[in-house]
């Protein structure tokens, strides 16, 4: 009799949970099989409130190769568009990724059998996948200028199209990592790890992944010495934490500074987990690297922050590492080959920067 009562109680509990889940999906623009949750700001404007970015590095590699290879043809492939189509197909779960799916998609586009518009016209969630994936990957691929070594050993400038974002650890410096996003943290209060740890040597040069401007600089009891860099399109906030004790940043860096992708911004360390500034309380030296997506400014510095798993992004960026050199007099590191990102150049030449009342703003005047 007791066993029967317990069984009925368990079944009733499961029914209540299923009903609650059904109600949640009914009243929110969210599909349990999807990886994106959309909400409204109350004024009739929808924005993405949550993203589970699960695109594999293999899928990013393949899509990127198709994009670059197509630049000389009359049908250009946009790597974010094809990833978004597959994201819609897989419900955001790229453990289901097969290269054949991407090949078939690209073949239809190249042969002009189909267009992005015709392929996506019946895809209910495609626009959200595109917005989400473009927010993550939008600054990574494009045109840029970079110095390269010529036949005589000198340096010349080349115009290129391709990957213009860099791994945050400078070239030739060792590091180790694993997918640690979401594991528990207990300092201060119990919380999830919303970043990606890259273990390395103290003093290793840390470079900017993407061009942008410094939005935050200084001490945080959790991240220690840290730098926050915002992308120029405002969609990405890069967080570099646990920087070196006594010498955390490039000396000229300040809030409002513009950095180009690959510029040295700081040095790996083990500061943090202390309300006392400049304390070394992290046992293993590492860079905590985080990427926050911002679809609405209400998501910044709030309980609605969107941090994504960067493990596969780091795997993808490994192919583009920035070589650095040390100035023995200043002890500063800088990049060996100079780089010009047209977007950063535009903001340098056509923007007014204002820092007032602890807020930093960019105003474009052309």
Helix axis angle for 79-90 and 57-69, nearest 10°, is 140
Mean pLDDT over residues 195-212, rounded?
97
Given a cut of 50, is residue 25 above it in pLDDT? no
Q: Among 31-35, 40-44, 192-196, 275-279, which range has the highest average pLDDT?
A: 275-279
- pLDDT given at position 26: 31
Q: Which of 86-90, 100-104, 139-143, 293-297 has the lowest mean pLDDT?
A: 293-297
Report the alpha-carbon distance of residue 60 to residue 82 in Å, rounded.
10
Round the average pLDDT of the chain to a whole number and report it. Answer: 86
pLDDT in tens, 321-365: 999 999 999 999 999 999 999 999 988 887 655 444 445 455 544
Q: What is the pLDDT of residues 76-134, one digit of tens each?
A: 999 999 999 999 999 999 999 999 999 999 999 999 999 999 999 999 999 999 999 99
Structure tokens at 365: 């005047």
For 219, the 3-state DSSP assignment is strand
Determine the Cα–Cα distance for residues 47 and 226; give it in Å rounded to an integer: 29
209, 182, 180, 208: which is closest to 196 by C-alpha? 180
CB atoms within 10 A of CB 122: 7
**Closest residue by Cα to residue 359 from 277, 313, 297, 290:** 297
Mean pLDDT of 177-192: 67
* Alpha-carbon torsion angle 163, 289, 30, 106, nearest 10: 20
Please report the pLDDT score of residue 205 as a whole number: 98
Q: Does the structure show a pLDDT above 90 at 41?
A: no
pLDDT at position 37: 78
Cβ(208)–Cβ(166) below 8 Å: yes
């Amino acid at each position: 009799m007791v066993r029967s009562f317990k069984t009925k109680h368990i079944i009733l509990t499961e029914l209540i949970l299923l009903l609650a889940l059904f109600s949640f999906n009914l009243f929110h623009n969210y599909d349990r099989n999807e990886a994106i949750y959309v909400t409204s700001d109350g004024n009739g404007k929808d924005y993405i409130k949550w993203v589970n970015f699960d695109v594999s590095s293999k899928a990013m590699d393949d899509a990127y190769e198709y994009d670059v290879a197509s630049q000389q043809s009359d049908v250009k492939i946009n790597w974010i568009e094809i990833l978004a189509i597959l994201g819609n197909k897989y419900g955001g779960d790229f453990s289901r990724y097969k290269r054949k799916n991407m090949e078939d998609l690209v073949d239809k586009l190249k042969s002009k059998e189909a267009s992005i518009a015709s392929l996506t016209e019946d895809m209910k969630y495609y626009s959200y996948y595109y917005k989400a994936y473009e927010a993550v990957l939008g600054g990574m691929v494009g045109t840029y200028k970079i110095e390269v070594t010529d036949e005589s050993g000198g340096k010349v400038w080349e115009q290129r199209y391709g990957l213009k974002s860099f791994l945050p650890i400078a070239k030739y410096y060792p590091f180790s990592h694993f997918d640690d996003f979401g594991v528990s943290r207990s300092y201060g209060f119990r919380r999830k790890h919303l970043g990606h740890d890259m273990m390395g040597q103290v003093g290793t040069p840390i470079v900017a992944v993407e061009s942008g401007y410094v939005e935050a600089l200084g001490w945080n009891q959790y991240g220690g010495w840290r730098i926050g860099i915002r992308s120029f399109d405002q969609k990405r906030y890069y967080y570099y934490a646990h920087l070196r004790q006594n010498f955390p940043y490039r000396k000229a860096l300040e809030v409002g500074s513009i950095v180009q992708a690959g510029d040295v911004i700081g040095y790996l360390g083990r500061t943090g987990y202390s309300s006392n500034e400049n304390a070394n309380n992290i046992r293993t030296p590492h860079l905590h690297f985080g990427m926050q997506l911002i679809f609405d400014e209400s998501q910044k510095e709030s309980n609605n922050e969107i941090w994504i798993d960067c493990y596969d992004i780091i795997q993808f960026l490994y192919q583009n590492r920035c070589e650095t050199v040390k100035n023995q007099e200043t002890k500063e590191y800088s990049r060996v080959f100079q780089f010009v990102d047209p977007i950063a150049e535009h903001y340098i030449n056509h923007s007014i920067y204002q820092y007032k009342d602890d807020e930093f703003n960019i105003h474009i005047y052309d």
